[in-house]
Amino acid sequence: MRRAPKKKIQKLAGDALRIANLSQAISQAGSRLEDNDWQSLLDTLIAKILEAKHQSILDAAAEHVFTNQADAYEVLIEAIESIATSGQIKDGDTSYDILLVAAPILAWSRFDIASGSIPTNLIKSLTTSWRESLLCKGVQVCILPNLFSIDQLPQDHCAVNELLHQTAQHFLQNKAIIAPKDLPKTVPFLADSRYLLGVILAPSNAPLFQWQMTPSPFDISKAKEAALLLWKQRAHADIAHLLPGCGFEFLLPEAYYSACREADILVRPISIRATVFYLCQTLNLEASELTAIVGRFGPETHPGQVDEIRVGFTLKKAPEIIYGVIWPLYQQEDEIHALVGPSNSTMDEREGEIPRLLKESGISQVLILEDIFGLEFCEDCQAPLYADAEGDLVHPEMPDDAPPEGSVHLH
């Protein structure tokens, strides 16, 4: 289940109320026929609101449903995301199904991880690789000429839907495809995700991806693994050109929100490994000489809610936090899995993913704090603050004798 919204809206009216009620009707449907009937009404209403760019109505309905009708929340979010990222478009007498797809790349480097415009020759090469390794015959793809960081992706459902339809229209009209303008500056991290975005166009009701053609007994996982392997092989040289000085890992291109969620989750362990490697290389020490302090952080307006886990690193011989990494939480059970481990494990095996990753990286001393801290940031530079062993929130500071930034390769 997706994370709770930060706000609470007490009363709904108009379309927001209708959306909330339809979502609950779907969650309570007793048959597929009833479910389909309610779903059709909900989808039509959501499409109308997306076209009118009334994001606040969708947000209000989602916040209300999460708070008051939890069973309907997943129904509503799935419907909003599906309608925002897919649709139909006509070109003369031909109708197409269209889908916004993201191809995530997980990257790590001591230097800045590149983003920005993609040269025309690479767009052509990537388009060919995408089409041949992933798509069914007759399906077209239009890749946006930009490598996006997470900060540069469309920020709401209306923006996603507009990007989908505008790109498809321009492609069919043979107009130049231009990446969104005035994209925010990318925040540098040791490990981060980058995204290719593309719109695929298939004849109406035809399959889109090659794994949809898998014969009986329908081993879709194996088919997806084969498609991903081929995509890696075909696109590796082009992505290496776009991400100089980086190690990187491909994820399977899929529908926009599904792919982005997968990247958000899978980049977290890479961030921890990259941080430990960076500290060892930069400070010329062994991982066993480091201590990790793990704290839970959440909004003060929602006591008990944990939105992210912040891991601060110290030298064993000194108490000061020298570096930190954030582990965002995306699902309700994430906190338990990250710190404690699954409930069906034995007590000896119940070690969460974060402590396990730290120990696998060579850090034997891991301190997990009991308190939940507020989401505090530095007033001067807006960097996140981390909890030290005493529970005080502090700004990470590398030792004075550390080499200057940018002087060590990470991959």
pLDDT of residue 410: 40
What distances in angstroms separate CA 163 from CA 77, 185, 233, 324, one per listed residue?
19, 20, 29, 35
Residue 406 pLDDT level (bands cut at 50, 70, 90):
very low
Model confidence over 45-82: pLDDT tens digits? 999 999 999 999 999 999 999 888 888 999 999 999 99
Distance CA 296, CA 339 (A): 10
Distance CA 282, CA 279 (A): 5
Q: Encoding tokens for residue 408?
A: 């060590």
> In the sheet where 321-328 sits, what is the strand order?
321-328, 308-315, 290-298, 365-374
pLDDT of residue 228: 97
**Mean pLDDT to the nearest integer, 79-86:** 98
Distance CA 3, CA 320 (A): 32
Strands 290-298, 365-374: pairing kind:
parallel
Q: Which of 4-8, 118-122, 140-144, 329-333 has the lowest mean pLDDT?
A: 4-8
- What stretches of 109-229 adopt beta strand conformation (E)? 116-117, 140-143, 146-149, 191-203
pLDDT of residue 339: 83
Global confidence as pTM: 0.88
Within a 10 A sphere around the Cβ of 40, how many other Cβ atoms?
A: 11
pLDDT of residue 401: 75
In single-letter form, the type of residue at position 224 comes to K
What distances in angstroms separate CA 238 from CA 105, 188, 190, one per listed residue?
12, 22, 21
